[in-house]
Structures are given as C-alpha cells and as structure tokens.
Structure 1
C-alpha cells in the first residue's frame, strides 16, 4: 500500500505541467529530509521548494547570543544550552569563543537536564537558553515549574521562544502553499491552519517519511490547480484538531505572549513568549538586570533573506567559501535544521 501511495504521488508530481508553483517547507527538518531523500531530484522545473523560518536556532537574533555571552562572562552564570547554539556567531563572539575566555558552557539535551544541573550545583547560577517553537516550549515551562516547586533560586531561563501563527501571516505572500511543521501542530492542533484558509493561505501538515512528504506535495499540486485556498492534514497519526491539551495548559500557566525579534523578519508583534510576572524570578533578563542588547550580524551573511525565501543559500556570496559548517558566518549554516547546512551537506546547486 505504501509503495502504491508513493508511486501515485510521484506520478502526480512529475506529470505537473502548469504554471510555476512555490512551496515553502517551513520546518528545517523537512528541508533536510527532502534533501536527504532525494526528493528535489525528481521535481519538475515548474515546482520550486523554498525554505522558511522553521529553524529555531536560525531565527534567533544575534542579540540573544550577545545576552548569553554577557551572562557568562560578566555575571559568571553557567550557560546550559543545546549544542547548536554554541557555534552561532554573536556581534563579537560565539558562546564557544566565550568558553575559551573562561565562560562556563554546558551542553544539555533538554531544559529538564538544565534544571537537574542547577539542582546538583547550588553554588552556580544556571541559565538555560530557551530557544524554540511550540514544540520545545512546554519542556522549558515544565523546568521552571519544577524549579519553583523545589525552591531553587539558582535557575533561570533566557527566553527566545517563538510561536508560528504570526510568522505564517507575515510570509503568506512568499509561497503558494506551506508545508506546515508537523511537530509544531502536534502541540497546537489544526485550528490555526483551518482559519488561515479564510485569509487565503493554503497549506498541508505533513510528517517526515518519504511517503508522507511525497503525498503532501501531491496534495498541494492537486489542490492548487483547483484554484481555491485549502488546508489538509496529511499527518493524522500525530496531529489532531485539538493538539496536545496538556502542553497547551502548562505553557499558558507559565508564559504569555510578547513581541519578538526574528532574524530576517524583524520584530513580529505577539510572536514570542516570556515568563509571566509570577515566574519573574526565573527570568534571566530580570534576575540579572540585563540591558537591552542590539546585536550586529555580519553584513556578508544572507541568513535573513534565506529565512524569508528571498534567496537560496548558494546565492549568498560567502556560502561554501567563507561560510562552512566548520567556520559558520551565520546561524543557518550552524544548525542541524538550517537551510544553508542542508544545501552544503547535500549539494547547493540542486533544483529548488
């Protein structure tokens, strides 16, 4: 049955001979899987895939890295972070470079790991770099809840949590349809996507297997030819209409909406999350009285344009030259979900 679905989807895709279609894969994991599975090789020239802002490390602004470096070097905080963030360039240095100057940086695999580290090292002030979309935010909230319940006073979050709804609206004219991120909508459900149809926004939620992605592309092509806005959940084994109520409850208890800066997209109102007043003791910006920081990105880097679908990574003059995974100029080359790293790893001149 799976082979039949795959073959049928492939036939639909390869037989398309209509006007140019632009499909934005919002999720960075989709970008990498589409490359890894060789899907771009089979697309006709009139179907273009463009990468969107669905890489949390990529959309985190330079100023956030500067704040983390400041906490580590000026306030002697122990920074707990996912590995990708260590190599993302700040205005002056990355966290990795700060570590060479004496900063204490611990790699963790979850916010709960950071909480456990703080519990075991009460003599250290521990800050977890809370970066991510709806998928990872509940775990950050849970770590704060556990810290408060345990009476910890040496644990805090530096938040750069973001939510996708307003980003979809900002980018709606960048593509004919979205491949929505499956993991995000496993948390928030499908109601948003359904409502966006009324605003003329089309898209499909899909998973990460070859059959799921191929089916989603075939659905997009078929639906676009009908000339009406649409939404289809092609990932029903994981994504439901209501999403994860438990995750939604813990986030709403501990965090609230705020304006947020996205690399390349600027300030998007109410597209971020911050700790509520009742949890301000765990907010690193409040706890350490951080000044407002305006980061300065390398002018040679076009990460911002890549994240908006305005260009592809090989269009950047430093791609593969001054900017490589070993020596990244921008976040999109660092992250395992970044478009630049996908193009570099799998071949930058492939169609789409």
Structure 2
C-alpha cells in the first residue's frame, strides 16, 4: 500500500476508545472539510475545531480600539479578514463606508510603505497574528526605524500558542499542531508539552500530510503515553527559526492577553518593549480603555473552545452568514463557522 493508503487504513479501522483530536489551526479546519477527511473517520474519532484563527480569538475590545483610532483620523492599514469583524458598535467596514481611511494591505511592510508615501497621515498597522506572521510586524518596526518615520505605529494583538495549548488540553486527547506556527517555534515547543501529559502531531496541509498526522495520533494514542510526532518534517525542524524568534525577542515582550471565548491567558500576548514606545499606537494616540461587548447571542467563544459546533449557535445559518456575519468565526477565511457553512452542506 502507498503511505496515504496505509494512513487511511489505520484511521478507518480504529476500534479503540473514543478519541478527540483538536485541530488548532483554521487552515487545517478548512482543509479537512475540503478534502473530505471527516467522512473517513469512524464514530469513535472526533475532530474538534479549536482556537487556531488569530482573527477569531481577537476580542471585541481590540476592534473597538481600532475604531477609536479611525474616529480620530488615524489611517488604519489592515488585512482584509479583520475588516468585517464586529466591534461593540459597528465594524471597520462600516467605518470605512462612513469615510474612515482604512487601507487593505497584504503584509505589515505594505503599511510602512504607505506611511512613507503619506507623511502627513498618522498610520497604524493592525497587527493581529500568531508566531507565523508576527515577525513581519517586527520587520515593519525595523524598517520604520531605518526610514526615520514618525507617523507609523502598531496596534498589537499578537499572541503565542503555548498558553492556548495548555488552556485547551482538557478539551481533547491530542492536538493536530499547526505546521506554520511550528515552522517558527520548532517541534521543541509541542515536544516540551509531552512532559505535561499533552500529546499531538505536527501536521502539514495536504491530504497525505493530514492523514499521516491523524494516523500517527491514532497509533500513538494506544500506547497510553504522551507523545509528539512531527508529521511535517519537510518544513518543521526541531529548533524552528531561531532568527525569527530573535526578532520577536528584540521588539516584543510577553504580556497577559485576552482570547475570545477563553479569557485572559497569562503571558500569551506580545506587546512592544518600552524601547519602542514611539511605535505603540495605544501610547502614541492615548487610546482610552475600551469595554468591548460581544453579541450575547453569538456562540463564537464556545465554538473556539470546542464546547460546541457552529450548528449549535442560534444565529448560525440564520442571521449569521458569510454575507452578513455576526461573529468573528463566520468572518474569517480561517473561521470554524465559515468552514462549516462552506463545506458541511455539500
């Protein structure tokens, strides 16, 4: 048999105790749906979608901070996914339609380029992401420094995954670890979690890579011992990217951070160090404290914790659709509700 046939055989023939596997990467969630992998699983294997979408776990308070900046004439540069995420009173999309200057960019460096070309504008990049995209935000500060820009800042909502793995451990028996995050952190981070009884496999994004990772979890789980399998060795090394981590350490420091649906996770956020206060939008623009109020009917937070699935939410597929999203999980291209809406009806 080919490796992919072997993996499928291991998965489909599993007859052991119930096994809960949490994919903490939104890209994994969409790939698993798109590739039809859920249809291969026996009843005793359950895939749970966890908090692996940076836009989804960003709290309402952050959107309110961004809207506050927009209301005071600051030009915002943002990735497109963030545009329609609801704040307490509206969204960035609504603010833009009302005249706010909100630019869609593809990297943080695009925001620096915009700031350099528009020195008369105060420009803030909305920096949302995990370890994969955060180094680019650091490079943006580095480039702004080199160009002596005085009109560029970051509004940070950057997070690291370690605390989330620990916080969600009781919700599953093993993790499908995100391949792109582990490219930066290395396999050493999830490997260290085995000392705390947490198991999982690092997965890539093709059908073969995902099936191999799930099959590895199925086989290893039967040993009864914590384990880590790197099923994405062509990209993920043991040490990851020391250069990217050094860049993070230079510009950012750990802080406590709020995760939508999960709460405050100690040391899980990344904020600019005091040496780079001039690039901190919160300090530079004196953003007042915000008290974000999510829609109480939306169960996005429960979905991110793996406590329910999108159809359990009273808004899903009714008042909340990709065209008119109520919650962040429906807005983001990596969101769980978006994946269920797009694929589970097929």
**TM tier, shorter chain?**
over 0.9
Q: How far apart are 1:294 and its partner, in Å?
A: 1.6
In structure 2, C-alpha distance between the alignment counterparts of 1:281 and 1:100, rounded to whole Å:
30
In 2, Cα distance between equivalents of 1:320 and 1:67: 29
- Give yes or no for the alignment of 1:44 onto 2:58: no
1:251 has 2:242 as partner: no
Distance in 1 between residues matched to 2:277 and 2:187, nearest whole Å: 31
Aligned 1:61-76 pairs, distance under 5 A? 61-73=59-71, 75-76=72-73
For 2:192 and 2:289, the matched residues in 1 are separated by: 36
Equivalent position of 2:142 in the other structure: 145
For 1:304, the equivalent position in structure 2 comes to 301
Distance in structure 1 (CA, Å) of the matches to 2:19 and 2:298: 27
- Residue aligning to 1:25: 23
Query: Does 2:307 match 1:344?
Result: no
State the alpha-carbon separation in 1 of the partners of residues 292 and 64 from structure 2: 7
Distance 1:106 1:194 in 2: 40
Q: Once the 2 structures are TM-superposed, how far is the Cα of residue 322 of structure 1 from its aligned partner?
A: 0.6
* CA distance in structure 2 between the partners assigned to 1:138 and 1:97 by the alignment: 30
Aligned to 2:179: 182
Aligned match of 2:120 in 96, 112, 123? 123
Secondary structure at the aligned position of 2:170 is classed as coil
The yes-or-no answer on 1:133 pairing with 2:130 is yes
How far does residue 258 in structure 1 lie from its aligned partner after superposition? 0.5
Q: C-alpha offsets along residues 156-183 of structure 1, whole Å, 9 cap, x if unaligned?
A: 0000000000110001111000000000
CA displacement at 1:130 relative to structure 2: 0.1
Q: Secondary structure at the match of 1:198?
A: helix
The offset of 1:293, in angstroms, is 1.0
| Alpha-carbon distance in 1 for matches of 2:303, 2:152 | 35
Question: TM-score under structure 2 normalisation?
Answer: 0.99
Deviation at 1:255, TM superposition (A): 0.5
Pick from 6, 9, 30 the counterpart of residue 8 of structure 1: 6
Q: Compute the RMSD of aligned alpha carbons.
A: 0.9
In structure 1, stretches of 5+ residues that fail to align are: none
Q: Deviations over 1:323-350 (max 9, x none)?
A: 00000010000000000000000015x9
The equivalent of 2:168 in structure 1 is 171
**Cα separation, 1, equivalents of 2:186 and 2:344:** 34
Is 1:214 the counterpart of 2:204? The answer is no
| From 150, 154, 157, the counterpart of 2:151 | 154
Aligned-partner SS, 2:51: strand
- Structure 2 residue corresponding to 1:196, chosen from 193, 208, 214: 193
> Using the alignment, how far apart are the partners of 1:340 and 1:87 within structure 2?
14
Cα offset for 1:35?
A: 0.3
Shift of 1:246: 1.2
Q: Report the number of matched residues.
A: 346
Q: Structure 2 regions of 5+ residues with no counterpart?
A: none
1:286 aligns with 2:293: no
Distance 2:330 2:252 in 1: 30
Q: Deviations over 1:39-77 (max 9, x none)?
A: 01111111100001110000000010011011001x200
User: What's the CA shift for 1:233?
Assistant: 0.5
Q: Which runs of 4+ in 1 moved over 4 A?
A: none
- Residue 314 of structure 2 corresponds to 317
For residue 145 of structure 1, report the CA deviation from its aligned partner: 1.0
Write out per-residue CA displacement over residues 166-216 of structure 1, whole angstroms, 9 at most, x where no aligned residue: 110001111000000000010011112111101100010010000000000
Q: CA deviation at 1:249?
A: 1.1
SS at match of 2:2: helix
Using the alignment, how far apart are the partners of 1:10 and 1:203 within structure 2? 18
TM-score, reference length from structure 1:
0.97
